[in-house]
Amino acid sequence: LGKQDYKKTKPILRATKLKAEAKKTAIGIKEVGLVLAAILALLLAFYAFFYLRLTTDVDPDLDQDED
């Protein structure tokens, strides 16, 4: 009797394993999206930092040249 019950539950176990693997891949896709978003945010932060720094450096130079 125990062997018959094991055989019946084996396909169910396979199905649950497939569902678990599908969830793992879905989480992986979400993680990739979050990593890409973080990289884009860092690039924008660096761009804004250097843009603001260069614009503030250029303005005093123009004022000195005009005088």
Q: Which residue has the tokens 């614009």?
A: 55
The reported pLDDT for the residue numbered 4 is 61
The reported pLDDT for the residue numbered 67 is 46
**Distance, CA of 38 to CA of 32 (rounded, Å):** 10
Predicted TM-score (pTM) of this structure = 0.47
pLDDT in single tens digits along all 67 residues of the chain: 556 656 667 778 888 888 888 777 666 778 889 999 999 999 999 999 999 988 875 555 555 545 4
Is residue 67 a part of any domain in this protein?
no
Taken as a whole, the chain contains a residue count of 67
Is residue 66 a part of any domain in this protein?
no
Please give the DSSP secondary-structure letter assigned to residue 1: -
The reported pLDDT for the residue numbered 14 is 86
Is residue 16 a part of any domain in this protein?
yes
Number of domains in the chain: 1
Where in the chain does DSSP place strands (E)? none
Q: Which domain holds residue 21?
A: 5-57
Is residue 43 a part of any domain in this protein?
yes
Is residue 13 a part of any domain in this protein?
yes
**Distance, CA of 37 to CA of 14 (rounded, Å):** 35
